[in-house]
């Protein structure tokens, strides 16, 4: 009888160990509070390449209605005033990026010009596609300050 109890105790302890190891090694769920990011802090992604620009606009479509963090550069020939025109997509439409200025908040930069390249650095509120005008899909990004991004 003592052997049966010892064997049963051993099996239960072994099962508990296996379950604990499996629980320890499981992948963690995605963090729902993580802010989607495109590019890296000291190495901004250059949108002059059409494949990269299409990936960028796909990222904007996938994360419409969310706060996003961008590290993106554009050549000065790709931009006029406040708009960046991307390549024509497979539907024959051109993706256009609209970034309005924020006079109400000096710490929300938006588009910056440095060393011959326009940069989108920092947090933005991604409104998604706000309109379709004459074959152009307009994506609106509103610059956010660091304080606005974490609230």
Query: How do residues 66-106 score in pLDDT, each as one tens digit?
Result: 999 999 988 776 666 556 777 777 677 888 888 887 777 77
Query: Average pLDDT, whole number, for the chain?
Result: 82
Query: 8-17, 26-35, 40-49, 117-126: lowest mean pLDDT where?
Result: 26-35
**Distance between CA 94 and CA 87 in Å, rounded?**
6
Confidence (pLDDT) at 32: 62
Confidence (pLDDT) at 38: 92
Confidence (pLDDT) at 30: 64
**Distance between CA 95 and CA 68 in Å, rounded?**
18
User: Average pLDDT, stretch 24-35?
Assistant: 73
Query: 33-42, 90-99, 102-111, 131-140: lowest mean pLDDT where?
Result: 102-111
DSSP letter string over 18-36?
A: HHHHHHHHSPPPP-TTPPP
Query: Structure tokens of 87?
Result: 């390549």
Query: How do residues 45-74 score in pLDDT, each as one tens digit?
Result: 888 888 888 888 889 999 999 999 999 988
- 96-105 CB burial, b ≥16 within 10 A, e <16: bbbbeebeee
Query: Structure tokens of 30?
Result: 């995605």
């Amino acid at each position: 009888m003592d052997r049966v109890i010892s064997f049963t105790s051993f099996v239960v302890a072994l099962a508990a160990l296996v379950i604990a190891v499996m629980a320890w090694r499981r992948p963690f769920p995605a963090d729902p509070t993580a802010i989607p990011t495109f590019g890296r802090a000291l190495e901004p992604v250059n949108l002059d390449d059409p494949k990269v620009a299409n990936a960028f606009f796909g990222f904007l479509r996938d994360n419409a209605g969310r706060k996003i963090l961008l590290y993106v550069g554009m050549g000065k020939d790709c931009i006029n005033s406040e708009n960046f025109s991307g390549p024509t997509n497979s539907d024959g439409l051109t993706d256009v990026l609209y970034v309005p200025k924020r006079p109400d908040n000096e710490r929300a930069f938006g588009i910056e010009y440095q060393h011959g390249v326009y940069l989108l650095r920092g947090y933005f509120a991604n409104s998604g596609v706000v309109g379709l005008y004459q074959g152009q899909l307009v994506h609106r990004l509103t610059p956010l300050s660091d304080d606005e991004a974490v609230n």
